[in-house]
Each structure stands twice: as structure tokens, then as C-alpha cells.
Chains A and B, each alone.
Chain A
């Protein structure tokens, strides 16, 4: 079946410095895909680039297809219909992502007018329904309020209502709960799950939080220094990561129960995009790095039916390696 959105070789450079290097990723209809990685890994840039939301100084190449139609470099009017209408996006800091001087009605109504062709009383009624749907109490009255009159969690609900206004097929949620407290994060994630159940839309959940992604996504792609290094069904990835970076990342996360173990911290830091290693970008921090890793970047290759990994070292060989190390 044709995927809803597929990225192929998506590359982004700012002033000649590559920050995204050939991302290939697809999202099926109704699917929940997670994108994890640390700051600077390019997980947000990927989707901003795909939707043409990067500043003009960014050089974007590759391919972005929406149901088989190329949209990278499409006309502004085409993109304006895609954005919000087919693919909606919500962001990390909901308070600053909403326009402070416009009422909620104006901001939600804008999407309704653009993508659903509504006007006047129909906008009001539909905006009200959407606020009800995302759990804003007293929606009728709150429509005429401004963003600063809501809490952070409520503003994120309003962002979600705005995203739903265009009946999109895909919602890109870029760190939607990072700025929120734990109990509010739980509310927002619950809301996103409910909305997905009710509308059947697909979601891409971008997060640095492995737990958030694990609990909410069918499939997860791990990004490092502008590339996807591993892609796998959520359960398989967290039970048995193949890429040494994914392995390290999961090992970095302290367990919340069971015996305490020493965290497997990854030594060193993320490479500077201006001075990327010649071979595998992770090689300088990798405990398994071999001579081969320093020569050319590994390609993302299939492992089994539904997994891909960008690592030259054979998995089985490495597994024994790890056992060997543990025995030491």
C-alpha cells in the first residue's frame, strides 16, 4: 500500500553546512511514528523541511511525497493547502506558538475558514465544538479569550483543536509535552491518543523522551547527527536495539523500578555539524567502532522484515562482543 507521506533522501544545509543528511522515512495511513534523538539530531528540522517551513536560507533537497505526489518545492498555494489541511503541526511551547494578540476564536477560525470554507456562525459553532472536543471547559465563553488567559496545558489543547480544524491526515507533534509538567504531559498525551482513536489520523511524535515515544508509537526512528540510524517497531527497538547509539540511548535512561543498574552513558558529545566525522557520525563515541567505521558513512540497511539499521557491524558479532565485554 502506498504510504501517506514518504521522505526520500531529504537533505538540508544552512550556509553549506549539512544538518540533515538524506532522511528516508515513511508514514502510513493512521500510523503512529516516533522520532527520537537528542538536540541537534535533526528530528524537528526533518518535518519543518518537509512542510517547507524552514527559512529561505535553508537549502532543501530530496523528495517529500504526499500520497505519491511530490510536494517538495511545490507552489506556495499548493503548500498552503497541504499545511493544516493534509498535514498539521503542533509545537513545543504552546504559549508562544499561539498569537498573543488574537482571540482563540480568530486563531481556530482561521484554520476553519482556510480548510473547511466555513464562515460566520458556522465558524463559531465548529470552533466551539473543537474546544469541547479537546477538553477546554466553558468553551462558548473561552472562545473570546486570549492565549495568556490559559495555562500551558490548555494552550496545547487549543493548538490541537487548531490542528484538527483542517481534518488533517497526519499530525506532526514536535515535542508537544516537553514544556509541560508531568501530570499535564499525561493529559495531553491522553488527548492525542483519544483524538487518534476518534479520527484515525496518523501521527509523527517527535520527542527526546524515549518513554513518551515508546508508549505512543507503533514504529520508532532514532536520529543521530542528521541521519536516521535505526528504525524499528517500538517494542522491538526498546527490547533489542541494534544500533550502538540506540542501545546507548536506551541504556542512558534510568529504570523506574527493578534493580538499579549503572547507566550506560555514551562517552563524548554530539559532533559539530561543521566538523562531521568522515565515516559513521557516531564512530568517535562508539565502543564497537572498527577501522571500517571511519571510512564512509554506513547506509541504512534492512534487518529482517520491518527493521532498518545504519551500522556496518554485524549484529550477531556485536552481540557476542557485548557479552564478552560484560564478562570482563
Chain B
């Protein structure tokens, strides 16, 4: 068992290192932070001083290794824009983002899972078709379009809700709904197909043949089994809590981590971008690990495989 975790965590570290490297390469090759932050009109000596201050005049591979060395020591660098530690900038923004993403996640679960289960249990009924049409629509319409449509209806036409900003709880409603609907659609489709798959299994027929009532068959034989694949997608959604709202935050001018990322990328503010990416990769990897544990908990077949791997 311990060996299994060491391997999983090792793999997670490699994943994070690759993400960080990728971001470094893309950002450093696509523009000069000194020119972007100081502006093209800045005198050459100012630019040179900026470069020296941030180590941008070192050879690129040296910058890369310096950066990695710093991370290893737990230093995530400072923003090139305002000189504050990158981690402070990012942490400041997290509550704002979570204010959107956590309620949105609950909304996804509350609509998506029951919707999918209901559609599967009433397969090919009118309700099933309605749920599925809704799901396909929610799945295919990009969130910025959905966000703008909601703004047009509820802010511009009806005037019920504000179109952007962060002043009151009412400002949060439209972004949360925008985030929630798309995810709920994905989850409903996934839950429905997982449920249908399970309902077609021979052990469901066995349970009925034993005299288990249909209600009990669904509750104690179908749902736990259908939960196994659904956990994957929910785990993925949990993984996007930190940075899953980039587009929606931009649409609704919500000052969260997503907006910070957009600004930092535009400025080639490497330390901030890297810091966000590290955080995102870490949450993703953690939620994947949690999903793996849940798998083992839900599916005894996997539990045994892990145990077999340990000795």
C-alpha cells in the first residue's frame, strides 16, 4: 500500500514539474516581460535595470534552473509588476474565486446527478429527452456565451441582477449559475450513461429475481455501482475549483484567481503565472489522488489489486 502511494505521489510531482516547465517555455518565448511591463517607450537603461533586477539577462537555462531551485526551497518569487510575493497576490484572490466555484459545484451536483439518474430510470420518456436536450445544450454552449446571454436577460432586459462586479451576494448569482449549468449538463450526461450501463448488468436482473423491490434495486444495487465512474468526473470538477472560472470571472469582472491569471499572462508576469499553475496542478493532482482512494473504497476489485501490488 505504502509503495503504491509513493509511486502515485512521485508521478504527481513529475506532472507538476512538467506543467511548470511548459508554462516557463511558453511565457518566456512569447514575449519580453521587461518590454511589456515597462512599456516600449521606456529608456533602454530602465529596461536593462529591470532585466538585471529580475535576472532576465541571465542565460535562459540558468533562469530556468534558478526558478526550479527557488521552488524547491519554497520560494515562489515576486510579481514583476508590483514586487509583492506572488503567493500573496494569489492567496488574496482565492476566497473570491471559491465564492463562485464552491456554490457552482454544489449546483452541478444538485442538478446533474439527480437529473442523470432520473433520465436513466425513465429512459426514452419525455422527461429523459428533455433532460438530455438540456444537457447537450448546456454542454455545447461555451460559458462566455451562456454568461452573456444570462446578462442580457437578467441584467439588461429584466434588470433583476447586476451584470458584473463583486459588491453584494446578488453579484455572485449570475456567475454561479453560468458555471453551474454547464457542469450540471456534463454531470447529468455522465451520470445517465453510468446508470444505464449499470442497469443493464446481469446482477441487476439477479437482484430483481431475488425479489428485491425495484426501489431497493436502484438504491442498493444500481446507485453505488454507478457512482464509481461518476466519481471521476466529480473529482475533476473539484480539481477545477481554483482555476475553473477564468472565463466566467472575465465575463463578470469578478476579481478572482482567473482574472489574476489573465492579467499576469498578458504582462508575462512569470512568477504569478507559475504560482497559479502550481496551485492548479496541486489541486488537480490532489483531487485525482482522492478519486483514486474513493475508487478503492467504492470498488473492492481495485482495493484488492492495490493490496496485491503491495507485497
Interface residues of A (CB under 8 A from B): 48, 51, 53, 76-77, 79-85, 88-89, 91, 93, 96-103, 110-111, 114-115, 146, 148-149, 159, 162, 166
A101 cross-chain contacts in B, Cβ below 8 A: 224-225, 228, 298-300
Given known contacts A101-B224, A101-B225, A146-B300, A82 and B203 CB-to-CB distance under 8 angstroms: no
Interface residues of B (CB under 8 A from A): 201-203, 205-214, 220-221, 224-225, 228, 298-301, 304
A97 cross-chain contacts in B, Cβ below 8 A: 202-203, 205-206
A96 touches B300 (CB 8 A): no
B212 touches A114 (CB 8 A): yes
Given known contacts A101-B299, A149-B304, A84 and B202 CB-to-CB distance under 8 angstroms: no
B221 touches A83 (CB 8 A): no
Select B207's contact among A81, A85, A99, A146, beta carbons within 8 Å.
Answer: A99
A88 touches B209 (CB 8 A): yes
A110 touches B212 (CB 8 A): yes
A100 cross-chain contacts in B, Cβ below 8 A: 203, 225, 299-301
Residue of B whose beta carbon sits closest to that of A95: B202
Given known contacts A82-B211, A84-B210, A148 and B301 CB-to-CB distance under 8 angstroms: yes
Select B203's contact among A77, A80, A99, beta carbons within 8 Å.
Answer: A99
Known pairs A88-B210, A96-B202, A101-B225 / 15 extra A-B pairs, C-beta < 8 Å: A53-B205, A76-B214, A80-B211, A82-B211, A84-B209, A89-B209, A97-B202, A97-B205, A99-B207, A99-B225, A100-B299, A101-B228, A110-B220, A148-B301, A162-B206
A166 cross-chain contacts in B, Cβ below 8 A: 210-211
| Complex Cα–Cα for A289 and B228 (A) | 56
The 4 closest A-B pairs by CB, nearest first: A84-B211, A84-B210, A83-B211, A89-B209
B203 touches A96 (CB 8 A): yes
B301 cross-chain contacts in A, Cβ below 8 A: 100, 146, 148
A102 cross-chain contacts in B, Cβ below 8 A: 220-221, 224
A80 touches B298 (CB 8 A): no
A146 cross-chain contacts in B, Cβ below 8 A: 300-301, 304
Residue of B whose beta carbon sits closest to that of A47: B209
B228 cross-chain contacts in A, Cβ below 8 A: 101
B298 cross-chain contacts in A, Cβ below 8 A: 101
Taking the closest CB of chain A, its distance from the CB of B105, in whole angstroms, is 25
B213 touches A76 (CB 8 A): yes
Given known contacts A146-B300, A149-B304, A98 and B206 CB-to-CB distance under 8 angstroms: yes
A115 touches B211 (CB 8 A): yes
A77 cross-chain contacts in B, Cβ below 8 A: 213
Select A159's contact among B201, B206, B221, beta carbons within 8 Å.
Answer: B206
| Complex Cα–Cα for A101 and B271 (A) | 47
| Complex Cα–Cα for A148 and B221 (A) | 16
Taking the closest CB of chain A, its distance from the CB of B205, in whole angstroms, is 6
28 contacts between A and B (CB under 8 A): A77-B213, A79-B211, A80-B211, A81-B211, A82-B211, A83-B208, A83-B209, A83-B210, A84-B210, A84-B212, A88-B209, A89-B206, A91-B206, A96-B201, A96-B203, A97-B203, A98-B203, A99-B206, A100-B301, A101-B225, A101-B299, A102-B224, A110-B212, A146-B304, A148-B300, A149-B304, A159-B206, A166-B210
B225 cross-chain contacts in A, Cβ below 8 A: 99-101
Given known contacts A93-B202, A99-B203, A146-B301, A53 and B208 CB-to-CB distance under 8 angstroms: yes
| Complex Cα–Cα for A85 and B205 (A) | 16
A85 touches B203 (CB 8 A): no
A76 cross-chain contacts in B, Cβ below 8 A: 213-214
B202 cross-chain contacts in A, Cβ below 8 A: 91, 93, 96-97
| Complex Cα–Cα for A3 and B252 (A) | 74
| Complex Cα–Cα for A229 and B105 (A) | 60
Taking the closest CB of chain A, its distance from the CB of B230, in whole angstroms, is 14
B300 cross-chain contacts in A, Cβ below 8 A: 100-101, 103, 146, 148
A148 cross-chain contacts in B, Cβ below 8 A: 300-301, 304
A83 cross-chain contacts in B, Cβ below 8 A: 208-211
Residue of B whose beta carbon sits closest to that of A98: B203
A98 cross-chain contacts in B, Cβ below 8 A: 203, 206
Given known contacts A96-B202, A96-B203, A100-B203, A85 and B211 CB-to-CB distance under 8 angstroms: yes
A89 cross-chain contacts in B, Cβ below 8 A: 206, 209
Taking the closest CB of chain A, its distance from the CB of B232, in whole angstroms, is 16
| Complex Cα–Cα for A114 and B205 (A) | 16
Taking the closest CB of chain A, its distance from the CB of B270, in whole angstroms, is 47
Taking the closest CB of chain A, its distance from the CB of B209, in whole angstroms, is 4
Taking the closest CB of chain B, its distance from the CB of A203, in whole angstroms, is 15
| Complex Cα–Cα for A146 and B300 (A) | 7
Give the residue among A96, A97, A159 with the most B Cβ atoms within 10 A. Answer: A97
B213 touches A80 (CB 8 A): yes
B214 cross-chain contacts in A, Cβ below 8 A: 76
| Complex Cα–Cα for A82 and B211 (A) | 7
B299 cross-chain contacts in A, Cβ below 8 A: 100-101
B206 cross-chain contacts in A, Cβ below 8 A: 89, 91, 97-99, 159, 162
Taking the closest CB of chain B, its distance from the CB of A172, in whole angstroms, is 8
B210 cross-chain contacts in A, Cβ below 8 A: 83-84, 88, 110-111, 114, 162, 166
Residue of B whose beta carbon sits closest to that of A108: B210
